[in-house]
Structure 1
C-alpha cells in the first residue's frame, strides 16, 4: 500500500536562532526543488520574508498542511505538539537544539533524511499527551496540555508541600515533598529521568509518577496505566505552589485545589526517518555503553 504523499509542508522554528534560520533556508530551497508548497509560521515572516512564502498561524498550518517540519530543539517540538496533535498532522523534527530525543534529524543529513520522508520511507509513531485541569471548588480555573509532563512544584518556597494522590478515585497516599512529576513515556527521558524516574519505551501505554525529594525513604516512582485519571489535592504549604505543563509558566495552586490529569483524546503523529531506533537514541544521548566491555 503506497505511503501518504506530502505536498503542503508547514515550517515551524525556534525564533531568533541563527542556526535554525540557516537550516530553514536550506530546507525551503530543497522542498521547493521537490515541488512542495511551503507554508511558514507567521512568526518567521520577518526572517524569511525575502523568500515570498505563504505564512499562517499554527492553527492554519494544522488545517492546511500534510506535514509540519519543526526546526529547533525538543522544547520547540513540545510547543508544536500541543497545537498539531489536535489537527492530526504528522510532525518531523530537525535538531537545532541540544539533546534531540524528538528532533532526531541532524542538520548535516537534512536533505537526505527529508528526501526519504517525502519518498514515503519513514516511521510513524503515535504519542499521547496529558490534559491538566485545575479545579477550585466547582470552577475550572486553569488548564493545559503536555507531551512530556505535568509537574506540581513547591514554587518560590524552599519548604515542602503536602498533597494527596488519588488514581481513578482511589486514595493512594498523602505525601510531603517538593512536588510530583506526572510523566508520559515521551517525557520519561526528560525531567522525570533527572528525578530518578524509569525510562519508558514510547510504545508503552503508561504514566509515571515521580516524587521530588519526598520526606520518606519508601516513596518511589509509581507507574500506572495510561488511561488512569490522576488527581492531586494540595493540603498544606507555606507559599502557593505551581503546576506546570512541559515547563511552561505555571499556574498558582491554592489550598484544597484539585489538579486532574488524564490522557488527551488527540495524539501527536511523530515521524522518524528510516532506521530510527529508540535504544540507539538512548545510547547516543544518555551515554550508554555501545557494546559489552565499553567503559
Structure 2
C-alpha cells in the first residue's frame, strides 16, 4: 500500500441495483465531483432512473472505457461485481462507499463524504490486490454451454450442489500431487478473500500485501486435511472424481458459476494484472480488522441467569 498525490479527471458511479439511497448519495456526491473539476458518468444499468442528471447516464461498458476512477456505492458484493469487470484494466482505480452491512472493502461511510474530497485532491492510499482466474479444461468432446473461465476477487470455490453427501476431489500444486479430499468443498482464496468465505471455513487471515493463495477444505472428513498457504505464483489444479461430477459447482465470488463435465479440470492461478483499490488517507488494514471483527475491545462480561 502506497500513498499517492495523483488526481482524477473522470469518475464513474456504479450503485447497488434497486437501492433508493444511491440516488440520495448522488445528490451529495455530484456537486463534490463538479467542484473538483471531475467529469461524472453514472451507470445506467444500476442507478435508478429518477430523472436526476439523466445526461450523465451511460451504459456500463462505456463507463468503464471513460473513467480513471470508479466509485461503487453499495456493499462488498457491489464492489466485487465492479472489480471483476475491471480485471485487465489496471489503469482504472476503484473505491467504495458503504451502503451494505460489514463492509470490508467499501470503507467510505456515506456520512463522511469529506473522504471522497480528499481522494479527489490526490490524498489517498493505493492498494493493489491480485485477482484469481479460474479455467475449466474439458476432456475431449465433453463440453457445456456455460463459460469456461471467470475472474474472482475473493475466492474460487468448488462446492457440493443438490446433495447432502460429501464430494471427492484431487488437487495438484504446480503439477505436483497434493491430496485427495473428501469434504463439502474446497476454497482457493486470495488475501482479500481470506476474511470472507475462507475465514468462515477455518482459514487464516492473510494480509493483502502478502502474495499468497489459501486452499481451505470445507468441512473435510479428515481432521488432518487443513488449510494450506501457497505462493501466489503457483497453479492449482482440481479434479472432481467422476461419480460426483453432477453434484458439484464451481463458483467465483458467488457471482458467476462454471459448469464441469466428466474428466474436466479446474485450473486456478493469479490474474496477470492487479486491481487498484483506493482508500482515504490514514487507511490501516489492522484498524479495519479491529473495527470489523471486534478485536481489542473490553472483555465481555458473562451474566449468569438467575
TM-score bucket of the superposed structures, by smaller chain: over 0.9
Q: State the shift of 1:249 in Å.
A: 4.2
TM-score with structure 1 length normalisation?
0.93
* C-alpha RMSD over aligned residues: 1.9
2:110 counterpart of 1:103: no
Gaps of 5+ in 2: 301-306
Number of aligned residues: 292
Counterpart of 2:258 in structure 1 is 251
Structure 1 CA distance for aligned equivalents of residues 281 and 260 of structure 2: 44
Given the superposition, is the C-alpha separation of residues 282 and 156 from structure 1 closer, same or farther in structure 2, using an over 3 Å criterion? same
1:125-161, CA deviations, whole angstroms, 9 ceiling, x for partnerless residues?
A: 1101100011111577511110000000011111111
Structure 1 CA distance for aligned equivalents of residues 181 and 46 of structure 2: 45
Q: State the shift of 1:85 in Å.
A: 3.1
Residue from 265, 268, 275 that aligns with 2:275: 268
- Contact 2:4–2:126 (CA<8 Å) still a contact in 1? no
2:95 counterpart of 1:92: yes
Structure 1 CA distance for aligned equivalents of residues 150 and 125 of structure 2: 28
Structure 2 CA distance for aligned equivalents of residues 42 and 179 of structure 1: 37
- Contact 1:240–1:254 (CA<8 Å) still a contact in 2? no
- Contact 2:188–2:213 (CA<8 Å) still a contact in 1? yes
Q: How does 1:159-238 map to 2 (within 5 A)?
A: 159-235=165-241, 236-237=243-244
Q: How does 1:1-20 map to 2 (within 5 A)?
A: 3-20=5-22
TM-score with structure 2 length normalisation?
0.90
- Contact 1:39–1:56 (CA<8 Å) still a contact in 2? yes
Structure 2 CA distance for aligned equivalents of residues 18 and 285 of structure 1: 25
Q: How does 1:3-152 map to 2 (within 5 A)?
A: 3-44=5-46, 46-88=48-90, 89-110=92-113, 112-138=114-140, 142-152=148-158
Gaps of 5+ in 1: none
* Secondary structure of the structure 1 residue equivalent to 2:290: helix
* Secondary structure of the structure 2 residue equivalent to 1:265: coil
Q: State the shift of 1:87 in Å.
A: 1.9
More helix by share: 1
Structure 1 CA distance for aligned equivalents of residues 50 and 105 of structure 2: 25
Structure 2 CA distance for aligned equivalents of residues 102 and 48 of structure 1: 28
Structure 1 CA distance for aligned equivalents of residues 4 and 194 of structure 2: 34
Structure 2 CA distance for aligned equivalents of residues 80 and 262 of structure 1: 20
Structure 2 CA distance for aligned equivalents of residues 288 and 21 of structure 1: 34
Counterpart of 1:283 in structure 2 is 290
